[in-house]
């Protein structure tokens, strides 16, 4: 049973979460972000860091549910709605809960992906194959990690 493609997806997931090589992974982008930073809205608009993490968590939860054969609700929520409100700068507990949820989801997803075989990646998954969906999803998180780094650079809090 081949696992070469699964191992590649695991590597991509690790690189997009906490293994820093040629991109800044999400865990590094979020390291040390406080509620003031998490709720800051970029000039001209855009999402806060908190909103971006909430959006990532929403989609990570959905893909985890699909991978583990748990029901996925069809809430009719739009992509924009997954970001939710900008967050409250005084809600330190809420921000920590959001961060812990992000980490827990990634860990659960790594377990689920590691359990796959390459043959599993060829199975239909919505309108794609499972492998295509997982690869695209990893890029999604890496993209948002870059947005978070950009926000932190605007704030002057990125690796100072």
3-state secondary structure of 134: helix
Q: Kindly list the structural domains of the chain, giving each domain's residue range(s) and its CATH number in brackets, ordered by start.
A: 4-155 (1.20.120.450)
Using an 8 Å Cβ cutoff, are 35 and 142 in contact? no
Using an 8 Å Cβ cutoff, are 13 and 7 in contact? no
Tokens coding 50: 């908190």
| Residue-wise pLDDT tens digits, 45-56 | 899 999 999 999
Please give the DSSP secondary-structure letter assigned to residue 81: G
Q: How many CB atoms lie within 10 A of CB 44?
A: 5
| Angstrom distance (rounded) from CA 37 to CA 155 | 8
* Residue 16 pLDDT class (50, 70, 90 cuts): very high
Buried b (16+ CB within 10 A) or exposed e, 68-93: eeeeeeeeeeeeeebbbebbebeeee
Beta-bridged to residue 124, according to DSSP, are 129
> 20: Cβ–Cβ under 8 A, 6 or more apart, which residues?
28
3-state secondary structure of 141: helix
| Residue-wise pLDDT tens digits, 94-126 | 999 999 999 999 999 999 999 999 999 999 988
Handedness of CA 69, 70, 72, 73 (dihedral sign): positive
Nearest to 32 by CA among 82, 95, 88, 101: 95
Does residue 1 register a pLDDT over 70? no
pTM exceeds 0.85, yes or no = yes
């Amino acid at each position: 049973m081949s696992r070469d493609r699964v191992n590649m997806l695991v590597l991509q997931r690790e690189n997009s979460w906490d293994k820093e090589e040629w991109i800044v992974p999400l865990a590094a982008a979020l390291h040390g972000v406080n509620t003031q930073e998490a709720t800051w809205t970029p000039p001209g608009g855009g999402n806060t860091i908190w909103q971006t993490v909430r959006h990532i968590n929403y989609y990570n939860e959905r893909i985890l549910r699909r991978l583990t054969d748990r029901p996925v609700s069809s809430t009719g929520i739009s992509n924009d709605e997954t970001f939710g409100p900008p967050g409250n700068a005084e809600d330190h507990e809420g921000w920590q809960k959001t961060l812990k949820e992000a980490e827990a989801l990634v860990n659960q997803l790594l377990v689920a992906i590691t359990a796959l075989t390459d043959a599993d990646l060829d199975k239909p998954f919505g309108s794609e194959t499972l492998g295509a969906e997982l690869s695209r999803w990893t890029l999604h998180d890496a993209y948002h990690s870059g947005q978070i780094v950009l926000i932190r650079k605007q704030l002057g809090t990125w690796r100072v």
